[in-house]
Amino acid sequence: MHEAQAKESYRLEYHLKPGYVFFSPEPTLIYAVVGSAVMVCLWDGQKRYGGAAHFIYPKAPRREEATARYGNAAVSALIRLLIEEGSERAHLQAQIFGGGDPGPQEAGSLGLENVRIAREVLQREGIPVSSEDTGGSLGRKLIYKTDTNEVMVLKVDRLRREDWFPYGA
């Protein structure tokens, strides 16, 4: 899928910043850039809509600090948004992207812990993971089509300041 072709049929576009969750029942292109952070895409195959969570840390240290910057809170919030819109858990499926580390992949690294918490929350909630592209040393630029559950992944050697456009330039 070429980016120009993807934009042709979508009225809504959303640049998902780290620490945010987005859902709309309208077909939307969601853009994100991840390194050690993770983006979880959640899709309802019956209603043909979806959303995404983009988090940078695995788990909030204390309940009162739980925001979408943390995977346990972000993924749970995304699930709640779809359920509140009328989705049934049995119709949901997830995809996980990111969790890379520029150095050696070691147990306990931030990227691996982010992926682990995403899997843990989804498993606890009974939501299957249909696809994932995680780990490694490369960053990822992502475009998620919420009505088809398609994701375009562009792997990059290093993330530059301009990769974070429009919120980092």
Q: Which residues contact 136 (CB under 8 A, 6 or more apart)?
A: 100, 105, 155
C-alpha pair distances (Å), 92 with each of 13, 46, 48, 130: 22, 8, 10, 10
What does pTM read for this prediction?
Answer: 0.88
Structural domains in the chain, sorted by start: 3-155 (3.30.1330.200)
Q: pLDDT tens, 134-161?
A: 999 999 999 999 999 999 999 988 766 6
| 57-62 average pLDDT score | 92
Distance of CA 117 to the CA centre of its chain: 13
